[in-house]
Amino acid sequence: MPSNKSVSDAPIFQFTNCRILRNHELQREDLWVREGKILNPEKLFFDEKGSADIQLDCKDSIVAPGFIDVQINGGFGVDFSLATDDFKSGIDLVSQKILSHGVTSFCPTLVTSPPSVYHQILPQISVRNGGAHGAGILGVHLEGPFISKEKKGAHPERCLRTFEAGAFQDLLATYGSLDCVRIVTLAPEMKRSSEVIRELTQRGICVSLGHSVANLSQAEEAVQQGATFITHLFNAMLPFHHRDPGIVGLLTSDKIPAGRRVFYGMISDGIHTNPAALRIAHRAHPKGLVLVTDAIAGMGLAPGRHTLGQQVVEIDGLNTYIAGTKTLSGSVATMDTCVRHFLEATGCSIETALEAASLHPAQLLGIEHEKGTLNYDSDADFLMLSDSLYVQATYIAGEQVWRRDASGM
């Protein structure tokens, strides 16, 4: 009779006494893991005649896929848009610290900067798997500089750019390289943006619409060219108007190509978006909602002055402003806080709240077969959570990388 060793010598872990988020619902079953992947127990029992080497009691925790943050500007004093000699140690620190927030993968985000900053920073970021060292890096999110002056938000106006005759070459010259770039946020009303969107999409880069004064038809045209995401819905775009709803109108547009879904980021921190606006968006297009932190260097630090790229920002409680103004500039909310606030504000199910921070960002990036679910053969990146969605432990590739200690830290 073959044993489980006939397939692999790696130990099999069985997580018991838990409710697993699978197929959009919490199911009371065990989670089986081997070599960093989620196992199908039926195959294990019947094909391999195998059994668990190690059993772990989850003490009735919720087990959910690890969170994926596709828009995070930094945290813990580290600013991803600031070129420094020890940039790598900064990104390592953030990736380590966000494990306690349940984030197992992320897209470090750079705000509008001079070309020299992109040329210096981008070669220092590489796509990598997560582990005990920290959350995995899925690729960079470049937010700007090809955005609208009218809706620049916290982006420095002097660094904004437009597309000239060789539009895509302009973009390449500005960034220097697209090797590790996963998302580009741009304003679709800019001249020649269509050809840029097409070219980026062909290279497998997700195009997001944001910091824009686009009307609905311009936004629809961008989606028809390949754009699939909206950067922080409602923030830094024209407000919804009944005769021309602008980018917001994409949530219920009938001009989206068949088989395509438009996703939209939301900063669910109780500051950037009124709970009523969060509810409107969620009810209009629940399957597209992606929770993002838009966190800045001041996340995890005391109130005071910090940086966001070329700007100085001031933190006052949960509010972050460009110093000396009332212009909001990113957030200091953590991903687990955003998930809990979204649950409370919308009255949605626990499953829906968790999927907005895991399944939906994975679908946006086209990695839902590896991450964002606990389906068989997917990566064993998962969280143990309390009923009130506080993270108790974080696992990457089946290995515990963070656990809340008895004192609650």
Res. 3: pLDDT tops 60:
no
Give the per-residue pLDDT at 406.
62
How does pLDDT run across 294-315, given as a tens digit for each residue?
999 999 998 999 999 999 999 9
Domain boundaries, the chain: 13-64+373-403, 66-365
Active-site residue list: 294
Is 113 one of the annotated binding-site residues? no
Is 195 one of the annotated binding-site residues? no
Is 235 one of the annotated binding-site residues? yes
CATH topology of domain 13-64+373-403: Urease, subunit C; domain 1 (2.30.40)
Give the per-residue pLDDT at 7.
62
For the chain, give the secondary structure using H, E and C. CCCHHHCCCCCEEEEEEEEEEECCEEEECCEEEECCEECCHHHHHHCCCCCCCEEEEEEEEEEEECEEEEEECEECCEECCCCCCCHHHHHHHHHHHHHHHCEEEEEEEEECCCHHHHHHHHHHCCCECCECCECEECCEEEECCCCCCCCCCCCCHHHCCCCCCCHHHHHHHHHCCCCCEEEEEECCCCCCHHHHHHHHHHCCCEEEECCECCCHHHHHHHHHHCCCEECCCCCCECCCCCCCCHHHHHHHCCCCCCCCCCEEEECCCCCCCCHHHHHHHHHHCHHHEEECCCECCCCCCCCEEEEECCEEEEEECCEEEECCCCCECCECCCHHHHHHHHHHHHCCCHHHHHHHCCHHHHHHHCCCCCCCCCCCCCECCEEEECCCCCEEEEEECCEEEEECCCCCC
Is 330 one of the annotated binding-site residues? yes
Confidence of residue 394 (pLDDT cuts 50, 70, 90): very high
Give the per-residue pLDDT at 4.
44
Confidence of residue 318 (pLDDT cuts 50, 70, 90): confident
Is 243 one of the annotated binding-site residues? yes
Determine the CATH number of domain 66-365. 3.20.20.140
Same fold, 13-64+373-403 and 66-365: no
Give the per-residue pLDDT at 1.
36
How does pLDDT run across 320-373, given as a tens digit for each residue?
999 999 999 999 999 999 999 999 999 999 999 999 999 999 999 999 999 999
Res. 2: pLDDT tops 50:
no
| pLDDT mean across residues, the chain | 95
Res. 46: pLDDT tops 90:
no
Res. 409: pLDDT tops 70:
no
Is 259 one of the annotated binding-site residues? no
How does pLDDT run across 222-234, given as a tens digit for each residue?
999 999 999 999 9
Give the per-residue pLDDT at 8.
73
Is 272 one of the annotated binding-site residues? yes
Res. 5: pLDDT tops 80:
no
Average pLDDT over residues 384-394: 98
